[in-house]
A and B are shown apart, each in its own frame.
Chain A
């Protein structure tokens, strides 16, 4: 293990880069701000690479651990570390930040420095969430990350951006405030420790476990989002600028799911088993019902937003089957969704930048004017529908396999997404891309430029690479997932 504080670098390099970018000030220095942001994002990605190359596959223990006292009065520590579950998300997040900076390169010409700084700072905060091993540190990053996204939606968003920004902020804050009380309860119950790892070992009776589980559930279900607390997501997605949508879908949604693995399952295993039926039920509703809701959408961004909810339903379903296959499938699905939904939102952004509409009816025959774009869009639409050889297939397939072991009907219901998902994605694709050129807006479209091509290639490498050869992604998870499941199988009631 190297002595370099890699995780601290992963957190603070983007944040400091963000502050430097802010210092460039007004839009007169926009080119400089863009270059600095890209440099900051790349540096942020670079420092996370050794996390993968130096990762020890054979231990479930936390790696790259950093431990410093922060607030000794409440025994709060600056305690960082990653295991097989969280490490990939740190890298994914840093990767997405690079694409987001590139995606806003020409499109954003208003308050460029603030825009890019917002994303860089958010990237650092998100890395903090994934690597925090101290409950309060986690919470602090978790809440602080709301601020940049609130501003990004509100300043650079669409016509109903104010409503969407408020809804996003207040919904998520509502969830996390109960979470704070749960953390304080654990702090007192554990005799004054905020260490998440200590809490994993803490015996808790069934009644407090249930309450804790429900408090966690509210916080994470809002963030995932699960049906019925999902309504903020379509609004936030529709109004957010493209970069905001990419980060929201690729990273922010993962925070809730990650919270289940870090808090709910290991800290309240008995309650997790007791409530598993509820969670599986909610996940299936998300998969099937939200899938049909997506089918009815006329706004492309809304459609992809609903499809995100359905995909996240697979993630929560995988978690609450309590098998290695299910949890790993869910994790693969999370990472795959990061690439695929990010790419989908970027594709819609590419069209919106040219024609200023997200309505499906305003398009038709895009392939005639944007052939290169249509090819890439095809790839990601297929991945979104879960076509084999794309990353979208691997995770869904693993989760469905795991649910067959659990119950035939759950598997049957979950597998229906293969049809519904293909229906809403491909139907949208057909209406937008194929056919005759619908109107003069479409006729005026220009194909993607080099910058957009590069971003598509980055996403495509992720989505295809993971679909064809998932081994490098899954092998790092094994020990940690098995250890987690051992933990969940042990009762904490004494």
Chain B
């Protein structure tokens, strides 16, 4: 075979333009930071934010709305991916904004590496979103995870943070191992790692089903770990609690978008034929997550830990949409179900970012403010931000007119449409239990007197952004249509 026969095809770099740009910029910012003398690293911060804005513009410019593959079908560009990436940039941008004051007060975190790591994590999530190959999913996931481990440990003199990082790393490595093991079995059964090709082989039936289902169990476990659903949730409370709040905010927001994309790529794009099998597993995970997440959250006195358990229950609720796509071989409801899950994840990220942002707002002078009691009498100290926090709590509890209600509503209607009435009843029963601890936060803020009536001090831009974030929770609750349709449309064009 001559060189000419090898058919070198130049990959279509346009599809990965944003990823290439972010990786270049992450490296450049790391180098550029060496030149920055300013202790506050303002230049690095601004450069990072501009990188995210530029990446958003690149994604917008290269988005074609068609499904197209590149890098020998290892990479896919579609509308769902583009939408999730755009939301990802916005989330990371907002998260870095919120974190700014917090990390400046901590010597070891106020470094350029923080921003570079955030960009690498973003890159990892983008790769996960656009992967059409099991190994590429894995590469993206590891890039994300390793950046996060480092970010959690960055405040290295803090014992809880170091412990959290260690726990996160050990359990995360285990989960990666599970995922990789599952992927190898799927390779063994189908002879390919390309997600669309796996789907084809499964469809035509040239597979060893025994090994395949075995592999599926491991893949589901790995994904469940990253989503943080029971019984793979152990790391969530410890990491959320132990990590510096700025990093908790990061972990609790953007990666949920990527984890959702991973779920769609692996389960829906790759193994929709096995839907009966993985749906059964996910139902179990969803119900357990809602149960344990909501019940354990009641016992928490630390807000970060409470929100960690609440995150577990929310991811369980989100899974309900994923398990109702295919009903006895009929995929009629798939679009409805998956888009409701997507809507749920997006609104959850929005609300979660705002809630942790509020904890950061209260944390001043290098002290944490993450106990529920730290919110005591907030209505006296700042009626405006108490109102904002209240809206977010009611949204998480699923009370209208806040967006959380419509997220729960759209998932529930998918569940009822698929004929799983019992599942819907279980879901609402646990949301009722969940309501209790969100109400408790409102109670602390409104019904009790503040310990010290000091008003809240924070930079104006932080206050404005946080207010905009909370008002978005309310406005999307009054006009949810646009985002719902956007989710449905992007999935319609991508599946």
Which residues on A are within 8 Å of B, measured CB to CB?
25, 70-74, 111, 114, 136, 139-141, 143-144, 146-147, 150-151, 154-155, 161-162, 165-166, 169-170, 173-174, 177-178, 180-181, 184-185, 187-188
18 further A-B pairs in the complex, CB-CB below 8 A; given A71-B480, A181-B416, A188-B416: A71-B406, A71-B484, A74-B484, A141-B400, A147-B394, A147-B399, A166-B436, A169-B435, A170-B436, A170-B439, A178-B428, A180-B412, A181-B412, A181-B421, A181-B425, A185-B421, A187-B413, A187-B416
* Interfacial residues of chain B within 390-410, with CB under 8 A of chain A in the complex: 394, 399-401, 405-406, 409-410
In the A-B complex, the 4 residue pairs with the closest CB atoms: A177-B428, A140-B400, A184-B416, A154-B447
A165 to chain B, nearest CB (A): 7
Distance in angstroms from A321 CB to nearest chain B CB is 32
Per-residue CB contact flags for chain B residues 366-408 toward chain A (1 = under 8 Å, else 0) read 0000000000000100010000000000100001110001100
Whole-angstrom distance between the alpha carbons of A173 and B433 in the complex?
10
CA separation between A71 and B488, bound complex, in Å?
A: 13
Over the window 470-494 of chain B, the binary record of Cβ atoms lying under 8 Å from chain A Cβ atoms (1 yes, 0 no) is: 0000000000110011001000000
CB distance from A222 to the nearest CB of B (A): 12
Q: Are A174 and B394 touching (Cβ within 8 A)?
A: no
Indicate if B429 sits at the interface (CB-CB under 8 A). Answer: yes
Contact A144-B413, Cβ < 8 Å, known A71-B480, A162-B443, A173-B432: no
- Which B residues are CB-close (under 8 A) to A139? 400
Q: Is the CB of A72 within 8 A of B416?
A: no
Contact with B439, one of A74, A169, A187 (Cβ below 8 angstroms) = A169
Question: How many residue-residue contacts, CB under 8 A, span A and B?
Answer: 89
Interface string of B313-344 (1 = CB under 8 A from A): 00000000000000000000000000000000
A144 vs B399: C-alpha distance in the bound complex, in angstroms? 6
Cβ–Cβ < 8 Å partners of A140 in chain B: 400-401, 405
Interface string of B416-443 (1 = CB under 8 A from A): 1100010011001101100110010011
B102 at the interface (CB under 8 A from A): no
Q: How far is the CB of A451 from chain B (nearest CB, A)?
A: 27
Q: Are A73 and B481 closer than 8 Å at their CB atoms?
A: yes
Whether A74 lies near B413 (C-beta < 8 A) is: yes
Question: Roughly how many angstroms separate A60 CA and B446 CA in the complex, as a whole number?
Answer: 45
Closest to A184 in B: B416
Across the interface, name the chain A residue whose C-beta is closest to B384: A25
Q: How far is the CB of B158 from chain A (nearest CB, A)?
A: 35
A-B contact pairs, 14 of them (CB 8 A): A72-B485, A74-B484, A143-B399, A154-B442, A162-B443, A169-B439, A170-B432, A170-B439, A180-B428, A181-B412, A181-B425, A184-B412, A184-B416, A188-B416
Q: Complex formed: what's the CA distance from A70 to B480 in Å?
A: 9
**Contact A165 to B447, CB < 8 A, known contacts A144-B399, A177-B431, A181-B428:** yes
Once the chains are docked, how many angstroms separate the CA of A25 from the CA of B383? 8
A-contacting residues, B174-212, CB 8 Å: none
A174: chain B residues at CB < 8 Å are 432
Q: Contacts A114-B383, A155-B447, A161-B447 given: A184-B432 contact, CB under 8 Å?
A: no
Task: State how many angstroms separate the Cβ of B342 from the closest Cβ of chain A.
Answer: 13
> A173's contact among B401, B412, B435, B484, by CB below 8 Å, is which?
B435
Closest to B387 in A: A22
- Nearest to B436 among chain A residues (CB) is A170
User: CB distance A144 to B401 under 8 Å?
Assistant: yes
Determine the distance from Cα of A177 to Cα of B417 in the docked complex, in whole angstroms: 17
Is B424's CB under 8 angstroms from A181's CB? Answer: yes
For B400, give its contact among A74, A144, A166, A184 (CB under 8 Å).
A144
Which residue of chain B is the closest to A73 with respect to CB atoms?
B484
Rounded to whole angstroms, the CA-CA distance of A71 and B483 in the bound complex is 11
The CA of A180 and the CA of B417, in the complex, are separated in Å by 14
Interface centre among B410, B436, B443, B480 (most CB of A within 10 A): B443
- Cβ of A137 to closest chain B Cβ, rounded Å: 10
For A155, the chain B residues whose CB sits under 8 A away are 379, 446-447
Cα of A141 to Cα of B400 in the assembled complex, Å? 8
> Among A71, A72, A177, which residue has its beta carbon within 8 angstroms of that of B429?
A177
Tell me whether A178 and B436 are in contact (CB under 8 A).
no
Contacts of B436 in A (CB 8 A): 166, 170
How far apart sit A155 and B380, CA to CA, in the bound complex (Å)? 11
Closest to A139 in B: B400
Given contacts A147-B394, A162-B443, contact A184 B424 (CB under 8 A): yes
Would you give the shortest CB distance from A224 to chain B, in whole angstroms?
A: 20
Please measure, in the bound complex, the distance between the C-alpha atom of A111 and the C-alpha atom of B421, giving whole angstroms. 44
The answer to whether residues A185 and B488 also contact, given A165-B443, A165-B447, A178-B425 and a CB cut-off of 8 A, is no
Chain A residues with CB under 8 Å of B417's CB are 188
Q: How far is the CB of A81 from chain B (nearest CB, A)?
A: 20
Q: Enumerate chain A residues within 8 angstroms of B485, measured Cβ to Cβ.
A: 72-73
Instruction: Say whether B416 contacts A185, CB under 8 Å.
Output: yes
Task: Please determine whether A154 and B443 come into contact, CB atoms closer than 8 angstroms.
Answer: yes
Q: Kindly state the separation between the CA atoms of A187 and B417 in the bound complex, as whole angstroms.
A: 9
Q: Which residue of A lies closest to B400 (CB)?
A: A140
Rounded to whole Å, the gap between the CB of B66 and the closest CB of chain A is: 23
Query: A141 vs B399: C-alpha distance in the bound complex, in angstroms?
Result: 10
Q: Which residues of B337-364 are within 8 A (CB) of A?
A: none
**Chain A contacts for B447, CB-based, 8 A:** 154-155, 161-162, 165
- Shortest C-beta distance, B22 to chain A (Å), equals 33
For A71, the closest partner residue in chain B by CB is B481
Q: Which of B400, B446, B480 contacts A154 (CB 8 A)?
A: B446
CB proximity to A under 8 Å, residues B290-313: none
In the bound complex, do residue B443 and residue A166 qualify as a contact, i.e. CB atoms below 8 Å apart?
yes
Set of chain A residues within 8 Å of B409, measured between Cβ atoms: 74, 136, 180
Distance of A288 from chain B, by nearest CB (Å): 32
What is the CA–CA distance of A173 and B432 in the complex, to the nearest angstrom?
A: 7
B330 smallest CB distance to A (angstroms): 15
Contacts of A185 in B (CB 8 A): 416, 421
Question: What distance in Å separates the Cβ of B30 from its nearest Cβ neighbour in chain A?
Answer: 44
Nearest Cβ on chain B to A23's Cβ, whole angstroms: 10
